[in-house]
Amino acid sequence: MNIITRTGFQRQQIGLSETLVIFMGVVLFFLPGDYRHLGIQIVAMIIFALSLDLAMGYGGIESLGHAVFFGIGGYAAALFALRVSSDPLLGLASAAGSAALAAAIFGPLVLRAKGVTQVILTIAVAAVVLQFATTARWLTGGDDGLAGYSVGPIFGLFPFDFTGRVGFIYAGTIAILTFLLCRQIVNSSFGLTIRGIRENDLRMRLLGVAVFLRRLTLFVISGAIAGVAGGILAQTVGVAATDSLSFSVSGNVLVMLVIGGMGRLTGAIVGALVFMVLSDRAAAIDPFNWLFVLGVFLILIVRFMPDGVALMLDRIELRVWGRKQPR
Amino acid sequence: MPFTPALLFVDGLSYGMILFLISSGLTVTLGIMRLLNMAHLGFAMLGGYAALAIMRTFRVELFVALPFAVLAVIILGIALERSIFQWVYRTNPLGQILMTIGLMFVMVASANLMFGSVYYTLPIPESLKGVWHIGGYSISVYRVFVGLVSAVVALLMWCALEFTNFGAKLRAAVENPQMARCVGINVKLLFSQAFAAGCGLAAFGGILGTQMLPLQPFYPTQYIVLALIVVAVGGFGSLAGSLVAAVTYGVFDTFCRYYFPEYGSFAIYILLAAVLIIRPNGLFGGS
């Protein structure tokens, strides 16, 4: 695993992973057809994967129920657009706020446990919320979900259009801001403490760190970011449905993170990108065989490439440019 | 309605017993190896499909096909345990979850490839098909039968755990794997045996329970959450705990769905969450 050093501060430059991501972003923007809409989904998933990376990769909070915050964010954004105002940024703030609140409520329950127990607790929490969303028709529309709301122009200037151009730039900008925020958090003293807790929480406790409070803070931040991801998707797609809370969403985002490489922010980005592009192509060909390939892929990745694609890119970078290996 | 509660109780009981059978293997793998096998319900599903295939090809009744299907799943379980799971054991807990999720995906895709995405319930023999009428209320014979058979199996499991040498070793391994190894118990072999038995039980439950949990490719993904909750509420490694949790869930869920259809399916989750908040290690788990 990571060795905790301050070298994180020196990694502000743009490496191969970042270049690849920016390149993909530009390509997606200029591709014709539905790719911009796929691009928006990818960007939302990148934000979502970043949030899970914060909690799991850096904080060591094992979550297989992160869809809770993603889904709650989506519903909050939809409800806000339906009942309060159509302003997209305020809607996103409400999504972040609701998801953060949910994280603050579920956090104490989930953070009490460790390891497998923690994983199961997060699954259980997600199941409770999903069940609630399905039954509470007055709030969530039940199985039909929420739809038929409109999202107004950004800053009152740029209206969302059917080409998805504005939507893509909107989502992309927020993703970049989120990435920068995450990098700031990870490299701050708070982030270092969090990594210390992940490595050895007893030791951190003996050093006088308020371990529980730190982890809860991290969990709330992670929840809020996941909420933003869900909110963006709900705003741009125009639907908030129970699917967004399902176990498969939690599973998928974890798979993305593992493909990319956990405990590194570029890993979340690369993983989400690779997963979404592959699954889009594969789903167009044959969704079930894709599941087969994904399953085999997952087993092989854990076995042979446990550090993910991003680390592989770093290694290539090292070999080609001979740059000093980070970490 | 004097009889309704009793009838609902029977329905809930049989549902709960099926849940218990399906998740019992999960409890044991978690207890001994701290291995969260997300693919476990895949074995229940494959058992059901195997029985379906056997019934179709050889045109036999459910109970002729059942032992062969269970045997087939046990063999598959052993084969997987000897191959892919050797990789699974070597990774960290997160890797184990991911690998078994991968295995689950493969199972889902294979099931769809072979049987399509249709819902199947295995046809039950004529003799068990009817309903009993008690004072104007009907009660499914098959449900009663499932409840009884599962109870017998659970009793046999208890006897095997309590009175055989194998059971004693298994209990020791669940309690403290390292200590068990120290006194000369071959924990690895024991685990393989328990794993195979768990697969068999899951297949058995999967085959008998198609009336309640119909066969479909997404069976493992859909019910794994339920099985995990049963295991967590019962306490890891505690079969008695899982039994209590599963039956409570089955009965409570059936009652809630009947009396409060609106919020019925939700109420049970609140109860389970409450249990986990009060006792994070489950009902029968140590603290």
CA dist B257 → A177, B260, B262 (Å):
46, 6, 8
A17-31, A184-198, B124-138: which range is least confident on average? A17-31
Query: Phi, psi at residue A264, to the nearest 5°?
Result: -150, 135
Cα angle at B41 between B177 and A62, to 5 degrees? 60
Q: Which two tokens stand for residue B270?
A: 């609140």
Name the pLDDT band for A12 (thresholds 50, 70, 90).
Answer: low
The radius of gyration of chain B from alpha carbons, rounded to an integer in Å, stands at 19
Query: Where would I find the H helices in A9-87?
Result: 16-30, 35-52, 67-83
Q: What value does the mean pLDDT of chain B take? A: 85
CA separation for the pair B27, A120 (Å, rounded): 13
Residue of B30, B35, B41, B101 best to disrupt the A interface, most CBs of A under 10 A: B101
CA separation for the pair B222, B229 (Å, rounded): 13
Which is nearest to B206 in space by CA: B219, B196, B194?
A: B219
For B44-96, the pLDDT digits (tens) are 999 999 999 999 999 888 889 999 999 999 999 999 999 888 888 888 888 88
Min distance A260 CA to chain B CA atoms (Å): 14
Residue of A106, A114, A117 best to disrupt the B interface, most CBs of B under 10 A: A117
A122-131, A310-319, B186-195: which range is least confident on average? A310-319
A114 touches chain B (CB under 8 A): no
Residue of A1, A111, A116, A138 best to disrupt the B interface, most CBs of B under 10 A: A116
CA separation for the pair A51, A73 (Å, rounded): 13
Q: Which two tokens stand for residue A308?
A: 């993910």
Which is nearest to A185 in space by CA: A195, A175, A171?
A: A195
Contact B237, B174 (CB under 8 A): yes
Q: Count the Cβ atoms, other than its own, within 10 Å of residue A161.
A: 10
In chain B, the N- to C-terminal Cα span, in Å, equals 43
* Portion of chain B with pLDDT greater than 70, in percent: 95
Contact A298 B102 (CB under 8 A): yes
In this predicted structure, the answer to whether residue B1 has a pLDDT above a threshold of 50 is no
Q: A80 CB contacts (<8 Å, ≥6 apart)? A: A90, A91, A94, A95
The 8-class DSSP code of residue B215 comes to B
DSSP per-residue codes, B106-150: HHHHHHHHHH-S--B-PPPPGGGT-EEEETTEEEEHHHHHHHHHH
Min distance B232 CA to chain A CA atoms (Å): 7
Contact A124 B109 (CB under 8 A): no
Q: What value does the mean pLDDT of chain A take? A: 83
Contact B98 A62 (CB under 8 A): no
CA separation for the pair A234, A81 (Å, rounded): 10
Contact B109 A112 (CB under 8 A): no
Min distance B182 CA to chain A CA atoms (Å): 25
Name the pLDDT band for B285 (thresholds 50, 70, 90).
Answer: low
Q: Find, in chain B, the residue whose alpha carbon is nearest to that of A123.
A: B225
The residue-averaged pLDDT of A201-229 equals 92
Q: What is the largest CA-CA distance in chain A?
A: 60
B129 touches chain A (CB under 8 A): no
Contact B101 A109 (CB under 8 A): no
Q: Find, in chain A, the residue whose alpha carbon is nearest to that of B228.
A: A120
Domain layout of chain A by residue ranges: 8-321
Q: Could you tell me if residue A208 is left (phi over 0), alpha (psi between -120 and 50 degrees) or otherwise beta?
A: left
Name the pLDDT band for A112 (thresholds 50, 70, 90).
Answer: confident
B180 touches chain A (CB under 8 A): no
Question: Using CB atoms, which residue from A121, A134, A251 is nearest to B101?
Answer: A251
CA separation for the pair A103, A127 (Å, rounded): 15
CA separation for the pair A219, A213 (Å, rounded): 10
In this predicted structure, the answer to whether residue A9 has a pLDDT above a threshold of 50 is no
Q: Find, in chain B, the residue whose alpha carbon is nearest to that of A112.
A: B280
The residue-averaged pLDDT of B206-217 equals 90
Question: Quick one: pLDDT at residue B3?
Answer: 59
pTM: 0.84
| Chain A / chain B CB contacts < 8 angstroms | 128
B256 touches chain A (CB under 8 A): no
Contact B225 A112 (CB under 8 A): no
Min distance B133 CA to chain A CA atoms (Å): 33
Contact A190, A32 (CB under 8 A): no
* A-proximal residues of B, 50-109, CB under 8 Å: 84, 87, 91, 93-95, 97-99, 101-109
Contact B228 A123 (CB under 8 A): yes
Q: Which two tokens stand for residue B240?
A: 């008695």
B240 touches chain A (CB under 8 A): no
B196 touches chain A (CB under 8 A): no
Query: Amino acid identity of B42?
Result: G
Query: Phi, psi at residue B165, to the nearest 5°?
Result: -65, -40
Assembly ipTM = 0.82
Residues facing B132 on adjacent strands: B139
In this predicted structure, the answer to whether residue A8 has a pLDDT above a threshold of 70 is no
Question: Quick one: pLDDT at residue A326?
Answer: 47
Q: Count the Cβ atoms, other than its own, within 10 Å of residue B240.
A: 15
A86 burial class (0-12, 13-18, 19+ CB within 10 angstroms)? middle
Contact B84 A299 (CB under 8 A): yes
For A235-262, the pLDDT digits (tens) are 888 888 888 888 889 989 998 998 888 8
- All domains in chain B, ordered by first residue: 5-278 (1.10.3470)
The residue-averaged pLDDT of B141-167 equals 88
CA dist A214 → A6, A107, A194, A283 (Å):
19, 11, 7, 40
In this predicted structure, the answer to whether residue A46 has a pLDDT above a threshold of 60 is yes
What angle do the packed helices A67-83 and A88-111 form, to 10 degrees? 150
Q: Which two tokens stand for residue B274?
A: 């409450």
